[in-house]
Amino acid sequence: MCENHKKTLYGFDIITFLLFLQANGELAQLARALAWHARGHRFEPDILHFAILLVNMQTGDITVQELKKRLDAGENIILIDVREPHEYQICNLGGKLIPLGSLPQRLDELEEYKDKEIIVHCRTGGRSANAVAFLKSQGFTNPRNLIGGVHAWADQIDNAMPKY
């Protein structure tokens, strides 16, 4: 890959482009920029981390590193796993299992946490992002998506954790 492609995206300096997207609330475009990276057009590591930081600032998502640090510090974390029971049996982070499909019917189980931080995760982050959006629509003030889900945890925190 040409060195120039590592520093530009759509003809713009990548940092400037990402800042512009974040400042204008263009999460879809910011997500496309990260998808561009995932398709093999690699950003330099510092630029990738910067892009993820911007997404986190915009959406309130949390990284596995941040979650691990908080768990290690003994914080009382409300962790919800929205995968299916058979997935939970393969590997889990110890959160309360509420599959995404049953979340609307089980919302009363989370009512006491409506104004507290709730960290939601799944396998890779898609279902949990949907769960976070649903919780916000139901008046929950601080649901957060674990970026990358248990796959990111297995890759970055616990290499012994099974991936499926």
| Domain locations along the chain | 3-59, 64-156
Q: Is the separation of the CB atoms in 123 and 83 below 8 Å?
A: yes
Q: The pTM is what?
A: 0.67
Question: What are the phi and psi torsion angles at 33 (to 5°)?
Answer: -60, -40
Report the C-alpha gap between 63 and 60 in whole angstroms: 10
Catalytic annotation on 2? no
Report the C-alpha gap between 100 and 81 in whole angstroms: 9
Please tell me what DSSP assigns to residue 102: G
The residue from 47, 120, 122, 152 that is catalytic is: 122
| Residues near 19 by beta carbon (within 8 Å), at least 6 away in sequence | 54
Report the C-alpha gap between 59 and 28 in whole angstroms: 11
Q: Which pLDDT value is given to residue 29?
A: 60
Q: Which pLDDT value is given to residue 106?
A: 97
Question: What is the CATH number assigned to the segment(s) 64-156?
Answer: 3.40.250.10
**10-residue block means of pLDDT along the chain (164 residues)?**
45 62 59 58 58 57 92 96 98 97 96 96 88 88 91 94 94
Q: Which pLDDT value is given to residue 27?
A: 57
Q: Is the separation of the CB atoms in 100 and 145 below 8 Å?
A: no
Our CA angle for 159, 163, 164, nearest 5°, is 175
